[in-house]
Amino acid sequence: MSDIPQELKYTKSHEWVRVEEDGTLTVGITEHAQGLLGDMVFVELPEVGESYEAGQDCAVVESVKAASDIYCPVEGEVVEVNEELEDAPEQINVNAYHEGWIFRINPSNPDDVDNLMNADDYTALVEAEEH
């Protein structure tokens, strides 16, 4: 069973979301997801200033054997992207929840984050998928 930190929120499409002190949301893909995809070779980042709806694809992570869309977990505007991933996409493999973060958004509606899964629900989802 892979690492699923309690303090984060999750989506069905395997993104994690951290609520920062300033109300912005940091987004990445989970430890479980990076394990499925394998060694990352490229990350296509969203553009800062661009707005996305919840569930809209806004980035792509690419491994040798797969390319996977990253969906915006809630509606909002991208305020920062992790440019280090351009040269070191493997950060997602090394530490999915910290150095491997992908982008930060300013949510249109801060309450939207409450609709995302908590760690227990996500754990159940991963367990169900593994069967």
* Binding residues for another protein (CB under 8 A): 39, 41-42, 44, 47, 62-67, 69, 89-90
Structure tokens at 28: 């990445």
Paired residues of 68 in beta bridges: 61
Measured CA to CA in angstroms, residue 97 lies from 91, 109, 117 at distances of 10, 23, 16
CB of 65 to another protein, least distance (A): 7
Query: Considering beta carbons, is residue 41 or 124 the nearer one to another protein?
Result: 41
Query: Considering beta carbons, is residue 77 or 90 the nearer one to another protein?
Result: 90
Query: Considering beta carbons, is residue 43 or 117 the nearer one to another protein?
Result: 43
The C-alpha torsion from 56 through 60 and 63 to 64, rounded to 10°, is 100
CB of 41 to another protein, least distance (A): 4
CB of 125 to another protein, least distance (A): 19
Look at the block and give the residue holding tokens 């930060």. Answer: 104
